[in-house]
Amino acid sequence: MLKAYLDESNSNKQGEVCLVAGFIGNQEQWESCVEEWQQVFNRRKRKALHMTDLRWNERTKEFLNEIGAIPDRHNLIRIMGAVNNQDCKDLIEGRIRHRQAVPYLLSMQACVAHVLQHLPEDEKVAFVFERHSAYRQSAQICYDAVHELNKGNTRLHSLTHVQKDQAIALQPADYLAFELAHYFEDKDSKKSQWGLSILGNGEIIGARLERRHIRNIVDICIKKGLLLPVTT
């Protein structure tokens, strides 16, 4: 059994891309990663990581360089799914009901589908997402839709969501999602450059969806009744 811990960035439709990103590994890999991660935080007298709350000074730069290298040392694999927010606006808004017109669903599906395609047939994976109370209703629609879209795949064990403070393993996912969002927006920005350690050698499983893929996923969701079209 593998576990994938994932967080999102720009699900509120701000920024260039909405993406879901994180790491996947087995129980032993996660236990050793979390142990080292927590040791660094304890030594530096820091609490849980929330990238949006950081102060961007030289101490932060040093800190990010140190913790960014931890997942690679435990052979965790980077995964992601991303969509352009403008593409979603063009292809979704006005076509399906407003509270369902969220790019988060598409990013989740891109990530989950690519991971499942990558795994050997005898592997199973449990996906764990951070729960976002501000988008709870929309997020539940996304979880249900993605589960339905992939339920025929024997590699999919489960899709669950928990609060970030319930799983330290969500913190590296927060870092990776934040870094990728800024890298796609402007790879030369300070926040992007200071977070490069979490990207390691740059290898990642996943995709940034093209417009035709977005259109196809939405068509399937409407056909299956997972998304409701706008009625006139």
Domain ranges of the chain: 2-223
pLDDT in tens, 48-71: 898 988 999 999 999 999 999 999
pLDDT at residue number 39: 96
- Rounded to 10 deg, the angle between the 136-150 and 211-223 helix axes is 90
Phi, psi of 83 (to 5 degrees): -140, 150
In the three-class reduction of DSSP (H, G, I as helix; E, B as strand; rest coil), residue 124 is classed as: coil
The dotted CATH code for 2-223 is: 3.30.420.10
Q: Residue 101 pLDDT more than 90? A: no
- Percent of the chain clearing pLDDT 70 (strictly above): 94
